[in-house]
Amino acid sequence: MKGRKGYALIVDATFGALIAVSIMVVATTFMNAGYSAGTGTVSVKRMATDVMAVLDYNGTLDTLDENMIRSGVRHLLPPSLEMGINITVYDENLNHVQETNINFDTEKDRLAGKRGFMTFSGNQATGFAVAEYWVAIR
């Protein structure tokens, strides 16, 4: 009987340690899944916003040339993402003048945003445009 005194205590401590480790593993798994999903969405949205800002800054959006805009997006956006853009142009009296669509077909979840910019001919402002954009993970 002398050698079996601590047996119940060892079994109890082992079960307690197993339960504690299991709880930590489950909690860590759920925390990492939530963190990566939220960060991914924010990163994709921020990347799309940055692409639109660069296209606006370097004058590509102002050209309203579908091929130039598509090329700029392809150059700036990672291959794992796809993006569609709809640009609506208004003149100085806010009359609808032109619309340019650069779309993609996807059934996936998309994030959307808008960016307004001025259109110019030389140094003269000719109107205002609104670029609505969508981005999705391929």
Name the residue ranges covered by the structural domains of the chain.
2-137
CA 25 to chain CA centroid, Å, is: 29
Query: Which helix H or strand E contains 45, and what residues bound it?
Result: helix 7-57
3-class DSSP state for residue 132? Answer: strand
Work out the pLDDT band at 5, boundaries 50, 70, 90.
low
Residue 60 has pLDDT above 70, yes or no: yes
Residue 1 has pLDDT above 70, yes or no: no
Lowest mean pLDDT among 57-61, 107-111, 114-118: 107-111
Place of tokens 């650069």: 102
- Rounded mean pLDDT of 108-123? 84
| Separation between Cα atoms, residue 89 and residue 20, nearest integer Å | 61
pLDDT at 39: 47
pTM of the model: 0.65
72 contacts: CB under 8 Å, gap ≥ 6: 51, 54, 55, 58, 60
pLDDT tens string 78-108: 888 889 999 999 988 888 888 888 876 666 6
3-class DSSP state for residue 50? Answer: helix
pLDDT tens string 6-54: 677 788 888 888 898 888 888 777 666 554 444 477 788 888 999 999 9
Strands (E), 35-80: none
3-class DSSP state for residue 121? Answer: strand
More confident site: 128 or 12 = 128
More confident site: 40 or 133 = 133
Q: How far is CA 125 from CA 103, 114, 121, in A?
A: 27, 20, 6
pLDDT at 123: 84
